[in-house]
Chain A
Amino acid sequence: GENVEQHPSTLSVQEGDSAVIKCTYSDSASNYFPWYKQELGKRPQLIIDIRSNVGEKKDQRIAVTLNKTAKHFSLHITETQPEDSAVYFCAVGGYTGTASKLTFGTGTRLQVTL
């Protein structure tokens, strides 16, 4: 099955700095790559996703880049703010039988300090 590795596990940045989180995956047939933000005690919320027909997607301060050849994708957050502090999960879309599913990374705890 799909194997997703995520680094780093924790990341501390100062407010205004950039943060980068990286994920690698194993199944070259995978073609959907979402990123979720999860605040303490809350559900995961989709913040951005990318499909394999594009290499980069940006939404305000958040961007995702995809390198299908190397099988890795990254989340970039610029001008970080305290409210960006949360756990971020990458995921890879795939199938089990006819069921669509996401395989998640192990998460990155981002802390934005003042």
Chain B
Amino acid sequence: ETGVTQSPTHLIKTRGQQVTLRCSSQSGHNTVSWYQQALGQGPQFIFQYYREEENGRGNFPPRFSGLQFPNYSSELNVNALELDDSALYLCASSFPGTRPPGELFFGEGSRLTVL
């Protein structure tokens, strides 16, 4: 049990709607990353939060946004949903960035279906 919890586990939205996904990081981890895993693909880095600030982003448009709260939990928000946003969204927590990167602890994910 990694201790990273995500909610909801499954949800269905329609194009144009907005969605909020939530993540509680493993105890002691103050860095949270979000990944998108499309069907049959490897996870892709969306962004990372550390000390409530976004400190790095992958190749995702601004309609993907996030928050981190003082208790290190995090939200991923996606506006103006598109069909291609259908995917498993994975949250991962870790210790603060050190060089080289350390182990990521993934949650079970939130499976989003956009119709």
Contact = CB atoms under 8 A, between A and B. Distances in A.
Given A43-B90, A99-B55, A94 B41 contact: no
A103 B45 contact: yes
B100 A101 contact: no
B62 interface: no
Interface of B: 2, 31, 33, 40-45, 47-48, 50, 55-59, 90, 94, 97-98, 100-104, 106-109
Nearest to A93: B101
Contact of A95 (B47, B101, B108, B109): B101
A95 B90 contact: no
B106 A101 contact: no
B104 A104 contact: no
A83 to B, nearest CB: 19
A67 interface: no
Nearest to B54: A99
B47 A34 contact: no
A76 to B, nearest CB: 20
Given A44-B43, A107-B41, A99 B48 contact: yes
A62 B43 CA distance: 22
Given A44-B90, A107-B42, A96 B56 contact: yes
Nearest to A107: B42
A95 B47 CA distance: 11
Contacts of A45: 106
A102 B45 contact: yes
A101 B55 contact: no
Contacts of A43: 2, 90, 106-109
Contact of A106 (B42, B55, B58, B102): B42
Contacts of B94: 100
Given A49-B103, A100-B31, A102-B104, 5 more contacts: A32-B100, A34-B103, A100-B98, A100-B102, A105-B42
Contacts of B2: 43
Contacts of A46: 103-104
A22 to B, nearest CB: 15
